[in-house]
Every structure is written in C-alpha cells, then in structure tokens.
Structure 1
Amino acid sequence: MSTTTAPEAAEAPAAPQLSHGLKQRHLSMIALGGVIGAGLFVGSGAGIAVAGPGIILAFVAAGLLVMLIMRMLGEMSAAHPASGSFSVHAEREIGPWAGLTTGWLYWVMIGVAVAVEATAAGAIMHSWVTGVPAFVWVGIFMAFFCATNLTAVKNFGEFEFWFAAIKITAIVAFLTLGVLGVTGVIGHAPGTANLTGRGGFLPHGGDGLITGLLPAVFAYGGLEAVTIAAAESDDPRRNVANAVRTAVWRIAIFYIGTMALAVTLVPWDDPDVVALGPYVTVLQLLNVPGAALAMKIVVLIALLSAMNANIYSASRMVYSLVTRGLGPRALAKVTGGVPRLSVLASCGFGFAAVLAGYIWPDTIFLWLLNSTGVAILVLWLFIGAAQLRMRRRVERENPDLLTVRMWAFPYLTWLAIAAVVALLALMTTSADNRAQLYAAGVLVTALGAVGLWHQRCTAATAATAQEPGRTP
C-alpha cells in the first residue's frame, strides 16, 4: 500500500530537536546490553528443561533469524536514521496505518516489559531488605529511571554503557570458567555424557525443540533499541551501521556459547537449572564461592539496565509517533534535547501496568502480557515487508544510501518472513501460545483499525483542502 502523505513519511522537525549526545561506544553497549537480560541468566533454564541439549540448536536457529531481521532493519536505519526506527520505515513503505500499528504496538510491549522488570527487581531487593515492601522498591526504581531519562540523553548512554559492561563481564567470566570446566582444568571434565545421555540430544524429540525455539526467539528481543538510539548519535548512519554489523554475532556467541557450556557441564534435567538458572547451577558445580549471590546481583543489574533502556526506547517511539501526527501532539515538546512529556507518558504507562500486575494479575495484566508476548514477531513481519519495498525503491532513486545491504536480497528477506510465519503457525499447537496469539490478534487488529481510520481521515482532509475554491 502506498501513501502520498508526508514526503518520505519523515519525522516532522521539532523545535528544538532531539540532542545527539550518544557516541559509538554507547550504541555498541546499548546493542549488546539491551538484549542481555534476566531471561538469559535465569529464564533460559526453562528452555533447557523442555529442549534438553537441543536448546543449542534452538538458539542457533533463533540467532540466524534475528541476524536476518537486524540486517534488514540495519539497512533501512542506515539509509534513513530516525528515532521511530521500524515504525518510520513501515509508514514510509507501507502506509501511515502500518507506522501507527507498529509504533504503538511496540510502545505497549515495552511498557509491559518495564512493569515486569520493575516488579522482578523489587522482589530481589525485598529478599535482601525484608523490612521494605517490594512495591516500595518498584516505586523507587521507576522514579529513578524516569528522572534519569528526563535528563540529557548522554546520561542514559552512560548508565547503559556501565550496566552493559557489568553484564558482559559476567558472561565473559562465565564463558571462561565454563571452558575451564569442560576441559577439566577446573573439576572433572564431563565429556559428552550430558549431551548424549539421559534421553539423548533431543530427549523430548522435535516437539521439545519446537517448544524451546519460541523462548529462544523471544530471548533475542531488544536488539531493535540500537536503531532507535542511533538517531541521537553524533553520526547516525555510520554508527548504526557499525553497531548492527557487530552486535548480532557477538550476542549470538554469548547466547549460544553459554547454552552449549551449560548443557555440557550440567544434566539438562537437573531441577536446579530451572529453579536457580543455568548460570548459578554451573558455577555451583564448579565450586565458585558466592555464585548464587553474585548472579543475583547480576540479574538485578540486568533488570535495571533493561528498565532504563526500555523507558528510553518507549519515549523515543512515542515522540516519533506524535511528530508524525500519529499521536497526541502535546507529547512532541522537546526541552533540553529530551522529549520529557513522552518520557513521562511512557513511565506513566509502565507504572500503570505495574499497578495492574498487583491489582488484576490474572485478568488485565495477564491480557497485557499475552497480547505483547508475540508482538516482536508481528514487528518482524512489518520489518520484512518494509525492507522489500524500500530496497527496490532506494536502488532506483539513491543507491548511495545503501551503506548496509541485506545479504542475498530478496531471497533471504523472503526466507526470514517465511520463518516468522512458521513460528506463528507453531504457536497454534499449544494452548498457552494460542492464548498469546488471540490476545495479540485483538491488539494488532484494534491498532490496525485505528491506523486505517486515521489514514483515511487524513487523506479525506487533504483531498477536501485541494478542492477548487478551498484554502489548504
């Protein structure tokens, strides 16, 4: 679907505009740190429990898909850097309805993620300081990171840089210790006993692999933050290209490497893998002192880092939407290079989701969780469709903008789209996954309907203004 509204669907200029305080080192760490969260340190244990050692294949397959998606997004973002990232590209190439749908879907998804992260961080703090209720810690964290994001963007960049540095240091240390454990330098070398015993490499067969594939895919979510942040860097085109080129394979090494070491060192059906997480289980096996406490601290840092990054991403997405006429214009005000009203709106939604989790955990909050559970897959479909259209258009009009190119275009683009569709189809085989699909379908349909209505109203207004005798 094409559109004639807003040339190239670019973001309208704001006065004053967003600052450009992020450096290449910030973007690199945002790309790495944004996707390394508590899901890797703890949640990956659930994937191991269902897929067994085959979780390695699940993370390899998911990593290859994410690599293709990020290459497509990197191509578009390097050609047209924008704080709205994929929402801007969808609007430009498909239509305003697509920009509205993807942008607000992402905003809701990120807001719910902030609520989940804040609640989990509060629970960890309460386990240490039992005299202070968990919800008080949640309020403190929400207020702190809201305040951080209200200041200059370079402050956000510095927080994320150091948060990500701690997480990456923890992973590198784990990889080092794990290799020493596998080779027998520390403890007894396990060989391939845990990979081939206890039911074999795929103890639950293909069904277990499929079940483990979905959490592996979702674990990679968060990489898109770097293309949002690139618009506020000192050299958007160069920086986003460099970040996209290096981030995906580094993260794949972290994820695939840690999973491979975990299932080699520890039996996949060890109950501690789920209860404590694979990291703590492996470190305890290697007799690393204070392993549980150290990983709990790292998980807390991962949660706080994700909160900080998600509040930032949500605020920039809503800012981009409103500057393009796809949301309340009042939120477009920029002060000191920061869209502070957009930050406050994003924090407000996140906090409302936190309250919903406390008051209506099994109704409203559960629906929010389910509706955003597959949102990343929907966004990936839009990214694929937009890249197909943009690549052909830019090759005709201005090929010099293609500083990052999708490999084997258009074949790998179509392969990525087909893989996402296959994942959505696989979700219909499980009752829990079907609930997520239905909830997401309601949200996407509602946003799409609003987007189409808005697009038609805008087109009708423009046509009326161009009628003879009328003043535009």
Structure 2
Amino acid sequence: MTTPVLTTEPPGRLHGTLRPRHLTMLAMGGVIGSGLFVGSGAGIALAGPGIVLSFAAAGVLTMLVMRMMAEMTAAFPSSGSFSAHAERAFGPWAGFTIGWLYWATLVVVLAVEATAAAVIVHGWLPAVPQWLLMLTFMAVFTAVNLTAVGNFGEFEFWFALIKVVAIVGFLVLGLLAILGVLPGGGSGAAAGSGGLLPHGWNGVVAGFVAAIPAFGGLEVVTIAAAESANPARAAAQAVRSAVWRISVFYIGSMIVVVSLLPWSDSRLGASPFVAVLDEIGVPAAGQIMNVIVVIALLSALNANTYAAARMVFSLAQRGQAPPSLSRLSRTGVPYPAVLASTSFGFVGVVLNLLWPRTIFLHLLNAVGAVLLLVWVLVACSQLRLRRDLPADTGVRMWGHPHLSRITLGVIGLLLVSMFVDPDTRVQMISSAVLASLVLSVALVRSRRAPA
C-alpha cells in the first residue's frame, strides 16, 4: 500500500483571533436554525412522542462523529478540517471530493436561508420586493465576512446568543406548563393516540433519519479552530461544550412539545414551537417565533458563509482550487474565497425570481445526503490516522477502534435507509450523482498530477 502524498496548508496564514466563546457560539449558530424551530414537526409526525428517542440517538451519533473530528483537528488544525484530514489519510482525491461537496452544500444552503428569511420579512414589509430583501441579506453578510475575523466572531456570538436565550426561555415556559404553573399542561403524550410509540420502533428510526440534518453545522467549529490562538485546545473545548448544550436544547425541546400537545395535533406541522406557545397562552406567539426564525436563518447564513469561504480557501492552499482563492487581506481574511462563496447567493436572487418553487428544491435534493457522506469520511479518516495522532492533544475518541467502527456502521445504515425510504430516495440518488461527478473530477486530476 502506498502512502498518500500529504499536502498541508502553509502555517500562520490566517489570523488566530477567534476566542473559545466565539467558537462555541459559532458552532451553535451554525446548527440551531429553522430545522429545529420549524422542521422538527415532520419528525414528530413520523415518530410521535418517540421523537425524543430519535433526537437522543441523533445527538449521540453527532457527538461521536464530532469527537473523531475534534481528535484529528486537535492534532492537525486546518481551515480545511475534515477535507484536509481525508487528504492526509487517503490522498488528494479524498480531500478534493469531500471539500468541494461540502462547499457546494453550504453555498446552496446559504442561498436557501437568505430566501427563507426574505419570505418571512416580506410578510412584514409587503411593499419591499422579496428579491430586494434577499439581495440585502446577502450583501450585509458578505460585508460581515469581509471584516476582520475577530469582528465576525463577535457578531456571530451575539446573533447565536439570541437563539440560545430563545430556546432556554421556551424550555422554562414549557417546564412551568408541565408543572401546572402555566396553562397548557396535561394534554400531551399521555393523551395522544397510540401511546409513546404510535408508529413503533420503525417510527423512531424514521424520526432519527429526519433529526440528523438538524445537527448539521457543528463541523464549522473544527474549521474555525484554525483561526484561534490555540487550535488544539479550542477545538476540544468548543466541541465538548457545543455538542452537549445543543443535545440538551434539542432533546429538551422535544420533551416539552410532546408533553404539552398530542403528537397528532395539526398545529405541529407548521411549527411545534408556535403551537406550544399558543397552548401556553403566550400572546403573538407566531410573530415572536417568526422573529426568532429570521434571526436563526441569518445567523446560520453568517456561519455557513464563513465555513464555505474557509473550506475553499483551504482547497486553494492545497492546490485543489484556483490559487487566487488563497489570497488574504491585510486583516487576514480570505476575501476572494468569501466573494466566491457568496456569489451563488447573489445568483440565487435571480433563480428565485425565475423559478421560485422548483429550483431550490432540486438543489437541496442534490446536497441532501452530503452531511452523511462527510461523516463517513470523517470516521474512515480517524480510523486510518489514529496511529499517527499524538496522545496528548486533550481529546481522544472513546472506545477506539470499536466505537468508531460502530459509528461508521450506523451512518451506513442511515444511508441505506434513505435509499429505501421513498420520501428520501430522491435526495440519496441526487447526492450520489453529485458525489460521483465530483469524485470523477478528483480521480482525473489525481491521474494527471505529476508523480
């Protein structure tokens, strides 16, 4: 077996000005979005009260993947994160494939997030065209990402903090209602038809598949760690704190929802959070949640723009993207990479005008399973690199290699489940086609590369 050629980023290029609190909130800002506040209703419909078990299982799987990612990041900090680790483990083709797939996913998602935020704000300001709102959001967050990274980190810290406060407030109100202090308690899981698992364990598994995308975005912390003063320590601390906090928020929110409302309540389809706040009697619950959802979308847009720019910057430094994308401003910002990453968002303004109901659905299908493909390569890279990782980085994967292999097996079963399920088969096939195209380009480049 030949040893892969290792290509690394030149050291000391990016400025290490992100603080640990920035990294933690950046991770949470990238994760907590409309998938929790709105999309979790679909999971509840599939699993009923069993959605609590589904989210718990998704949280455990995410924790294991992030542990592997943090272990490699602590040893080999890189703005390319898992892309650079895959290249180190298997060669340039692996880093190229997963890096470009992840970048494509982020640029599609940030365009969708800008569109979704514009739709909500347009409802408040009907005189302002939706395309102009989307254009404004893209321009503002492009400008934010072109500032010094410390300013970006501070901006995202406060943005994400608003979402965290909103979830904590929801959990407190929900607990008071469950205890009988506020109205709305006593009509949830116990009163719902079918008991705790109305669709059996198959429903829990279906909810598990539906819950996984809600945890996507945590990987941004391993990308951002490269811009901290102590990447190894920052990655370990941020992953540990962000994963358990997000798991508590997500699982706690689902417990509140199914404890206060029957799982079959039609209001859950629109937004479980709004339905619960209405049940408790919070005035203007819908508008309050709309404000929080807009903040969540814009925060995720901000974090995803950052992650996309750093990923393509790393690819450029490793010779896997145009060299011009590796340029830095005097403040250490990869400004060509930022502009390249946000350009699709601006194109999305036009696409939204031409095909508002179809184009983004097709694009989201094409990248729908990429997160799981990223996780597959993370697990494979960790298993391959473990013998080369120093033991004193402060974060090690538990139960290696058995737990790493079990994690990889579970992800494989999830991919099979997505292919078997008619509701997710299109995503799986579309993502597989996209991955095959990118992989083909990677293999052609590898063959043409000088020995």
Pair in the same fold by TM > 0.5? yes
Q: Where in structure 2 are there 5+ consecutive unaligned residues?
A: none
Q: Please state how far the C-alpha of 1:403 moved relative to its aligned partner.
A: 2.1
Give the corresponding residue for 1:404: 395
Say whether residues 1:124 and 2:120 are aligned partners: yes
CA contact (8 A) 1:316 1:339 kept: yes
Q: Cα 1:157–1:211, aligned 2, differ >3 Å: closer, same or farther?
A: same
CA distance in 1, matches of 2:25, 2:184: 35
Once the two structures are superposed, the pairs formed by residues 276-315 of structure 1 within 5 Å of their partners are: 277-315=271-309
CA distance in 2, matches of 1:287, 1:84: 47
Q: Please state how far the C-alpha of 1:362 moved relative to its aligned partner.
A: 6.3
Say whether residues 1:109 and 2:100 are aligned partners: no
Once the two structures are superposed, the pairs formed by residues 88-103 of structure 1 within 5 Å of their partners are: 88-103=84-99
CA distance in 1, matches of 2:85, 2:131: 39
Once the two structures are superposed, the pairs formed by residues 7-406 of structure 1 within 5 Å of their partners are: 9-13=7-11, 17-187=13-183, 189-190=185-186, 194-195=189-190, 197-275=192-270, 277-336=271-330, 337-360=332-355, 365-394=360-389, 398-400=390-392, 402-406=393-397
Q: Please state how far the C-alpha of 1:363 moved relative to its aligned partner.
A: 6.0
Q: Cα 1:250–1:328, aligned 2, differ >3 Å: closer, same or farther?
A: same
CA contact (8 A) 2:192 2:263 kept: no
CA distance in 2, matches of 1:262, 1:280: 10
CA distance in 1, matches of 2:164, 2:247: 13
3-state SS in 2 of match to 1:185:
coil
Letter in 1 for 2:49: P
State which drifts further: 406-415 or 425-434.
Answer: 425-434
Q: Cα 1:357–1:134, aligned 2, differ >3 Å: closer, same or farther?
A: closer
CA distance in 2, matches of 1:19, 1:303: 27
Letter in 1 for 2:267: D
1:9-57, Cα deviation, whole Å (9 max, x unpaired): 311358xx21122111101111222211111111111111221111111
CA distance in 2, matches of 1:233, 1:365: 35
Q: Please state how far the C-alpha of 1:208 moved relative to its aligned partner.
A: 2.5
Give the corresponding residue for 1:434: 425
Q: Please state how far the C-alpha of 1:5 moved relative to its aligned partner.
A: 2.7
CA distance in 2, matches of 1:196, 1:417: 38
Q: Please state how far the C-alpha of 1:209 moved relative to its aligned partner.
A: 2.3
Q: Cα 1:91–1:170, aligned 2, differ >3 Å: closer, same or farther?
A: same
Say whether residues 1:413 and 2:404 are aligned partners: yes
CA contact (8 A) 1:3 1:96 kept: no
Q: Cα 1:204–1:148, aligned 2, differ >3 Å: closer, same or farther?
A: same
1:192-230, Cα deviation, whole Å (9 max, x unpaired): x52463121122233332322222011000000001111
Letter in 1 for 2:9: E
Q: Please state how far the C-alpha of 1:175 moved relative to its aligned partner.
A: 0.6
CA contact (8 A) 2:67 2:239 kept: yes
Q: Cα 1:284–1:2, aligned 2, differ >3 Å: closer, same or farther?
A: farther
Q: Cα 1:12–1:454, aligned 2, differ >3 Å: closer, same or farther?
A: farther
User: Greater Rg, structure 1 or structure 2?
Assistant: 1
CA distance in 1, matches of 2:242, 2:342: 27
Q: Cα 1:358–1:51, aligned 2, differ >3 Å: closer, same or farther?
A: farther
Letter in 1 for 2:447: R
CA distance in 1, matches of 2:199, 2:65: 29
Q: Please state how far the C-alpha of 1:361 moved relative to its aligned partner.
A: 5.2
CA distance in 2, matches of 1:390, 1:84: 16
Q: Please state how far the C-alpha of 1:2 moved relative to its aligned partner.
A: 5.0
CA distance in 2, matches of 1:352, 1:214: 31
Tell me the percent identity: 52
Q: Please state how far the C-alpha of 1:433 moved relative to its aligned partner.
A: 1.2
Give the corresponding residue for 1:5: 5
Q: Please state how far the C-alpha of 1:364 moved relative to its aligned partner.
A: 5.0
CA contact (8 A) 2:35 2:213 kept: no
CA distance in 2, matches of 1:100, 1:50: 36
Q: Please state how far the C-alpha of 1:366 moved relative to its aligned partner.
A: 3.3
C-alpha RMSD over aligned residues: 1.6
CA contact (8 A) 1:79 1:403 kept: no
CA contact (8 A) 1:52 1:204 kept: yes
Letter in 1 for 2:391: P
CA contact (8 A) 1:13 1:323 kept: no
3-state SS in 2 of match to 1:190:
coil
Letter in 1 for 2:8: A
Letter in 2 for 1:222: G
CA distance in 2, matches of 1:120, 1:367: 16
State which drifts further: 288-297 or 135-144.
Answer: 288-297
3-state SS in 2 of match to 1:403:
coil
Letter in 1 for 2:384: R
Give the corresponding residue for 1:469: none
Q: Please state how far the C-alpha of 1:4 moved relative to its aligned partner.
A: 4.5
